[in-house]
Structure 1
Amino acid sequence: MTETRLRTRLRDGEPVSGYWTTLADPAVPELVAETGFDFVVVDTEHTPSNLETVANGLRAIDAASTEATGVVRVPWNDQVKIKRVLDLDPAGVMAPMISTPEEATEFVAATRYPPRGVRGIGVGRSAGYGRDVGGQVERGDADLVRVAQIETEPGVENVGEIAAVEGLDALFIGPADLSAALGSFGDHGDEFEDAVSRVLDAGSEHDTPVGTLATSTDDVERWVEWGFDYVICGVDTLDLVRGADAALTAHEAARE
């Protein structure tokens, strides 16, 4: 059995970069993959994307000339939703709002075939559309990155036990939801920093990489300095908004 390059790099503690996509056009993850990020997230929690959208996004990432791989953020820690995404053959899957070790254990079980888990066996893209079902079942536990999002107060309180769950490959702090859960949306002050430190310490203790999302280049520098193992370095819609705003501002200034 072989591991994906992403899983190997995370396991070995190498710096890893990602990018977050929300737009439905597969050209978006394709052009981001061509940029040279190690992985591209295809989000389904806060987007209108359906399974066909996700499948085309993953194909676009796989077709890029780089070694980028696709990670899908599912809308919830739900066995059925996870199963259907895994049939599309992502390199990784991310589940939001993991707050207890029991939830983390259920997440891992949803990604594993029996007898170690509860994932159903199908003949989708991950199994070569039926040509390699046996091979997929054999590889399934070796080539998938499982990421649990820590973005609630109970998640922070239980993070040591969550990080210790066998089969979990990485943690991810959702800065917007975590700061909101702490009662200070968007505030990265002392309380937020203390919570982040707790998660980072748990990750270090259990050799579980911890990452987060940067929504600006300043954030990228901040999160690297704080000690995150991997950083998702931008979001398609936010970068498009900034680019459009800058272009309009430049035009208005030139007309003055």
Structure 2
Amino acid sequence: MSEPSRPEPRLVPHEGDERLAWDTARRVLEVLEHAQDERGEATLVLTGGSMGIRVIGELAGHPDAAVIDWSRVNVWWSDERFLPGADGERNGVQAADAWGETHELTWDRVHPVAGSDEIASADAAAEDYAEELAAAAENEGSDTGLPVFDLALLSLGPDTHVASLFPGREDVLRTDAPVFAVEDSPKPPPTRVTMSLPAINSAQRVWLLVAGAAKAGALATIRRPEITATEAPASAVRGTRETLWLVTEDALPGMPEDPDPAPGGTAG
């Protein structure tokens, strides 16, 4: 039986980084509230990157954040750097710093990837994470090996990578495991753990953050209808219910990188 068709991505421009981070945080809160009303809990797959971490900070400080029961929010990571657990370069550590102590999460619902000081290898960390996902799925009464993901929040890399799925690599097409190790990442550090494309695409909603003129080329590439997942991994991310490309206007092709200042003014 063929897979049901998914909605095509919808591009949503924002006037700048601040508006993108704020509006995305508001959208996340709406998804969490709806999921908790519907299922009693909510599940996020989070990302790293400067904008991904910024959104987490905006989420923590948003005036509407109090409507969410944060003790019933599950948190997973689409990828992680295989470094010691407390290393400041890890996505989870940066996210925890951005989150602060404003809202209390339930630790058993937050699922960091094991660090290099906690487990023998990236392969073992990937296997361990897959087992955690399967246990959560079983607890929900699912035999898919994956729990319900209400939202996967991702960032577009300048080379079109997403999570730790990099262009030109056959592992982008892997379907044999929901999580796997990346041993020679073109972006440091070289050793990482990433969700597979099918795991990411199991999410009901997949949102791709695209901020800054430096991402304009990558955004133009993933918008090409003939592009393949191997050529541009981010082009292949799709939610089962919704896919949004949340972008700043300066990332749109054709936008000037350095706009001329207004008459009588100076560039900001």
Provide TM-score, normalisation by structure 1. Answer: 0.34
Q: More helix by proportion, 1 or 2?
A: 1
Provide TM-score, normalisation by structure 2. Answer: 0.33
- Identify the structure with bigger relative contact order (alpha carbons < 8 Å, sequence gap 6+): 2
